């Protein structure tokens, strides 16, 4: 299952959301939350979050057992507020504090 941190995944129109600009996938077997892509010009892209990064924490809350929908709710928020993501990259733990902004998700 993939989520781009949007409210309506089936819409064909561009959509504006409040978030950090990441597209997530939850691995079916492991339930790990994996970054699929970042949206150019967002805090996730400019901070260096990369595809295949695994999100292990959202604001110090472990993502172990967390659904994709729960993660999306926690990552979203009000414009100008921050969210801290714990990331595992090549077995190295990293931490990124990202500012939530308006993000335009372009639909094809």
The domain of 61 spans 2-105
Structure confidence at residue 107 as a pLDDT band (50, 70, 90): low
Average pLDDT over the chain, rounded to whole?
87
**At 68, which helix (H) or strand (E)?**
helix 68-75
Q: What's this model's pTM, rounded to 2 decimal places?
A: 0.84
What's the CATH number where 64 sits?
2.30.42.10
Spell out a b/e string for 39-62, using b for 16 or more CB atoms within 10 Å of the CB, else e.
Answer: beebbbbebebeeebbbbbbeeee
Domain count, the chain: 1
pLDDT per position as a tens digit, 11-62: 456 778 889 999 999 999 999 999 999 999 999 999 999 999 999 999 999 9
Q: How many residues would you count in the chain? A: 108
């Amino acid at each position: 299952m993939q989520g781009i941190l949007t409210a309506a995944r089936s819409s064909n129109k561009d959509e504006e959301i409040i978030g950090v600009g990441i597209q997530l996938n939850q691995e079916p077997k492991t339930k790990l939350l994996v970054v699929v892509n970042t949206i150019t010009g967002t805090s996730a892209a400019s901070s260096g979050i990369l595809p295949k990064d695994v999100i292990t924490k959202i604001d110090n809350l472990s993502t172990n057992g967390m659904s994709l929908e729960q993660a999306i709710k926690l990552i979203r928020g009000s414009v100008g507020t921050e969210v801290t993501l714990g990331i595992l990259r090549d077995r190295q733990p990293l931490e990124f504090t990202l500012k939530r902004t308006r993000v335009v998700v372009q639909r094809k």
